[in-house]
Amino acid sequence: MSQYLEEESKGTAVGAGTKATENFQHDKAAYEAVKDVPKERVDKLASRIINEINNTVREEKVTYAEYNALKAWLIQVGADGEWPLFLDVWVEHAVEDVATEHREGNKGSIEGPYYVPNAPVCADGKIPMRDDEPGDRMTWTGKVTSTDGSPLTDAKVELWHADSLGFYSQFAPGQPEWNLRGTFPVKEDGSFEIHTIKPAPYMIPTDGACGKLIAAAGWHAWRPAHLHVKVSAPGHELLTAQLYFPGDEHNDDDIASAVKPELILDPQDQGNGQWTVEYGFVLDPEKKA
């Protein structure tokens, strides 16, 4: 395990942040999705955000020294490539709540900055991992259905997560490109079986601008252990979620405020570093225009 830690720990906030920023900048869909938003909507949102900042300045009597420190810090967030990290950790959970409040099926959660599309298809249910991948093995079974209970036979589950040391492939050195990332098509009855490892809790990167904010505010930087998923099926809304493990000390104070009771798993210890867990998904049909 030490050889992995030594190599992976060479990663930096700037390195991970730059990768996350590049991935997002290349996603033209981000702008395409809002190209028809009326100017009145943009005016309302931008004006309200700016007004809230100004109100905070006045109410809290912000000094020029504090203002200049903020300006320098905002510039550093961009230089470190940490805007995806900042927004995903401290803002995305509220956006996700609004976006999915209408759903009758599974609860969702934030995507976070470390998603990479087009992970390999794993028809055998085995996620790509190193031959000597550290960590307890876990077999996860479940079923994907619609809100009416019918199985979604064309569904797929995309899974990605940190390794047992808390690092993500493609965002830290030392891991194969698709380590612990995979796409799992369901069977004819909507069921799936995935073989992976239990991930570890981890701290978000603290050697960049976001870490400076955490230190200055006296916050902690921990996220509880979690699995990331995107579950999709034709004619149904995409579900993005994170699944958590009971007993994690940071389930109640996750820095990203993303934990929900409905997303906590119930893993069963089979002994000898082997775990099983059952958890399925109910997807909402897409609303007709």
Please report the pLDDT score of residue 14 as a whole number.
Answer: 56
Burial environment of residue 259 by CB neighbours within 10 A (0 to 12, 13 to 18, 19 or more): buried
CA distance 169 to 159: 13
Q: How far apart are CA 71 and CA 68, in angstroms?
A: 5
Q: So what's the pLDDT on residue 3?
A: 57
* Cα 31 to Cα 28, 69, 96, 156, distances in angstroms: 6, 31, 18, 26
Distances, alpha carbon 41 to alpha carbons 53, 55, 99, in Å: 19, 21, 17
Provide the CA 255 distance to its chain's centre, in angstroms.
12
| Domains along the chain with CATH numbers | 2-283 (2.60.130.10)
Confidence (pLDDT) at 108: 95
Q: Which token pair is 236?
A: 């149904």
DSSP letter, residue 94: H
Check residue 288 and give its pLDDT. Answer: 75
Reference 251, options 219, 228, 226, 224; nearest CA is: 224
Taking the C-alpha atoms of residue 138 and residue 268, their distance in angstroms, rounded to an integer, is: 9
Q: Return the pLDDT at 174.
A: 86
**What is the 8-class DSSP label of residue 89?**
H
Q: What was the pLDDT predicted at 10?
A: 53
pLDDT for 196 equals 98
User: Tens-digit pLDDT profile for the chain (289 aa)?
Assistant: 555 555 555 555 555 556 656 665 566 677 788 889 999 999 999 999 999 999 999 999 999 999 999 999 999 999 998 998 999 999 999 999 999 999 999 999 999 999 999 999 999 999 999 999 999 999 999 999 999 999 999 999 999 999 998 999 999 888 999 999 999 999 999 999 999 999 999 999 899 999 999 999 999 999 999 999 999 999 999 999 999 999 999 999 999 999 999 999 999 999 999 999 999 999 999 987 6
User: Which candidate, 153, 152, 151, 171, places its Cα nearest to that of 162?
Assistant: 171
Q: Which helix (H) or strand (E) holds 17?
A: helix 13-25
DSSP letter at 126?
Answer: B
Q: Nearest to residue 143, comparing CAs of 115, 105, 169, 112?
A: 105
pLDDT confidence of residue 74: 96
What are phi and psi for residue 38, nearest 5 degrees?
Answer: -65, 150
3-state secondary structure of 44: helix
CB atoms within 10 A of CB 289: 3
Please give the pLDDT value at position 121.
Answer: 98
137 touches 197 (CB < 8 A): yes
